[in-house]
Amino acid sequence: MPIIGDLLTVDVNKPCQKLAKDITAYDGILEQRIFDLPAIVVSRTDLVNEINDEASWEKHVGHSLRALRPVAGDGLFTAYSHEPNWRKAHNILTPAFSKKAMTAYHSTMVSTVRELVDSWNAKQGQWIDIAAAGNRFTTEVIGRAGIGHSFNRLDEVSDDPFTTTVLRELRYANRRTDAIPLYTKLFGKAQRNQHLQDKAWLRSQISIIIDERRNAGTPATDADILDSMLTTPDPDTGATLDDANIINQILTLLVAGSETSANAIGFALHYLANNPDIATACRAEIDTYWPDSDIPDCEFGDIAPMRYLRRVVDETLRLWPVAPGYFRQAKHDTTIGGEYHFKAGDWVFVLLLAAHRDTAAWGPDAAQFNPDRFLAENLRSLPPRIYKPFGTGPRACIGRQFALHEIMLTLAAILHQFELEPEPGYELTASETITIKPEGLRLKVNARSR
């Protein structure tokens, strides 16, 4: 329509899910324009495979990520690739997510998982708000393992103010009204004022954590992510990160690291509760590694061999990737699909919610949950660059191994200890911020009979 463009076709609460429904009628590629903001959206697997080729395409910090920059600044997730702090932080933090580092974080993860299990033991027979419980838990995991700080105990009833504020900032960053001219000035003043207060408060809390660590000194062994940011020089330049950027990186870890894992755990628990045969197969596998009734003091290497559980996680992330999509821009003039032409700097939005359900690649049952889709013999027939739940290329999520280990460990412990009871009549639906979260999902847990 004149002036407003395609505004009336947008679901402001669930824009990506609405697009995922609409795009199949347009052969997996469409342009949507809201006022003067156009976006080309792609979900067709063959086109996505080309767009994920680093020879011609690279990450674009799109509109929704720019909206998060007032919170996370030039942190790894929201930095532009040309910003010096991106390369510097990437060089410094990459070793902090290596296998050696992950081994050091493992014991803290295990103790936090035990605390979650203990808190759920006290709630047997009660409905548990899975999204809220997940956010509290994963914030604690990244807080304790990554920066040596606890925001709350998992047996506390009330939400901690830090997690509450982070979630409010995510909702603010994901608002769609900022594409409407003058809307914020005319109608969004209260929201903006709350955002400014939240931003200042979050940064002040992180600054306190940094000062406390600096005053305490760096341990000789078992340094965590915060220690790396405080003391490790960039191997290319010899420079360390300044405090403003360390705050940006910690906020990025806490926002992206907690939301993504919490949501993946929530969606996986929904499918496990509603597919008892799959849950039973998972338990049989877990029991071969953990034969006793108690959660063992397992080693880091005990988790990865649980291959069936990993397929459950992979299939969950296919249907509900950690973010609904990501932005890519052309490095030079290029063409995709032999007919769609782009100039250098043109960008597209890869809609993973739809691409991961493209029947051309994933089969006629692509919308169904089936972990065996990730058996090696089934994966060989897929294009190489289409399954990207953590993004793609050098700008893919640096913490994906941390997240996968955390998700696997948590699901293994929950399945080992509990039977999951779904809420009668509940149909899975998701809310959207920068990430996708199961909405209204409640489960009961009951002690597992052995």
Is 68 within 8 Å of 254 (Cβ atoms)? no
pTM (2 decimals)?
A: 0.92
Q: Which residue, 318, 409, 420, is CA-closest to 369? A: 318
Where residue 188 falls among pLDDT bands split at 50, 70, 90? low
Question: What are the tens digits of pLDDT across the range 30-46?
Answer: 999 988 888 999 999 99
**Tokens 């911020």, located at residue:** 433
Neighbouring CB atoms inside 10 A of 144's CB total 19
Mean pLDDT in residue range 71-87: 88
Eight-class DSSP state of 96: G
Q: How far is CA 5 from the centre of its chain?
A: 31
Q: What is the pLDDT of residue 29?
A: 97
Is 330 within 8 Å of 347 (Cβ atoms)? yes
Q: Out of 108, 138, 163, 260, which one is annotated catalytic?
A: 260
Helix 99-121 × helix 130-147 angle, to 10°: 140
Q: What is the pLDDT of residue 435?
A: 86
Is 7 within 8 Å of 35 (Cβ atoms)? yes
Rounded to the nearest integer, the mean pLDDT of the chain is 90
Q: What is the pLDDT of residue 87?
A: 94
pLDDT at 6 over 70: yes
Cα–Cα dist 437/162, whole Å: 18
Cα–Cα dist 97/399, whole Å: 6
**Tokens 């997240």, located at residue:** 403
Where residue 63 falls among pLDDT bands split at 50, 70, 90? confident
Where residue 281 falls among pLDDT bands split at 50, 70, 90? very high
Q: What is the pLDDT of residue 169?
A: 79
pLDDT at 179 over 70: no
Q: What is the pLDDT of residue 383?
A: 85
Question: What are the tens digits of pLDDT across the range 285-298?
Answer: 999 999 999 999 89
Question: What are the tens digits of pLDDT across the range 80-102?
Answer: 888 999 999 999 999 999 989 99
With b for 16 or more beta-carbon neighbours within 10 A and e for fewer, the 235-262 pattern comes to eeeeebbeeebbbbbbbbbbbbbbbbbb
Active site residue 390: yes
- Higher-confidence residue: 159 or 353? 353
Cα–Cα dist 257/250, whole Å: 10
Q: Which of 6-10, 47-51, 123-127 has the lowest mean pLDDT?
A: 6-10
Neighbouring CB atoms inside 10 A of 53's CB total 16
Cα–Cα dist 321/355, whole Å: 10
Neighbouring CB atoms inside 10 A of 294's CB total 10
Q: What is the pLDDT of residue 182?
A: 54
Q: What is the CA radius of gyration of the chain?
A: 22
Where residue 186 falls among pLDDT bands split at 50, 70, 90? low
Residue 424 φ/ψ, nearest 5 degrees: -60, 135
Q: What is the pLDDT of residue 329?
A: 96
Tell me if 397 is assigned to a ligand binding site. yes
Helix 307-319 × helix 400-417 angle, to 10°: 110
Active site residue 392: no
User: Two tokens at 349?
Assistant: 């939005």
What percent of the chain stands above pLDDT 70?
A: 94
Question: What are the tens digits of pLDDT across the range 304-350?
Answer: 999 999 999 999 999 999 889 999 999 999 999 999 999 999 999 99
Choose the most confident range, by mean pLDDT, from 77-81, 349-353, 430-434. Answer: 349-353
Q: Taking the domain 15-447, which CATH number applies?
A: 1.10.630.10
Is 412 within 8 Å of 290 (Cβ atoms)? yes
Active site residue 9: no
Q: How far is CA 113 from the centre of its chain?
A: 19
- The burial class, CB within 10 Å (0-12 / 13-18 / 19+), for 88 is buried
Question: What are the tens digits of pLDDT across the range 208-258?
Answer: 999 999 888 756 556 799 999 999 999 999 999 999 999 999 988 888 778
Q: Out of 97, 342, 349, 390, which one is annotated catalytic?
A: 390
> Taking the domains of the chain in order of start, what are their residue ranges?
15-447
pLDDT at 140 over 70: yes
pLDDT at 271 over 70: yes
- C-alpha atoms less than 13 angstroms from C-alpha of 8 in its C-beta half-sphere: 5
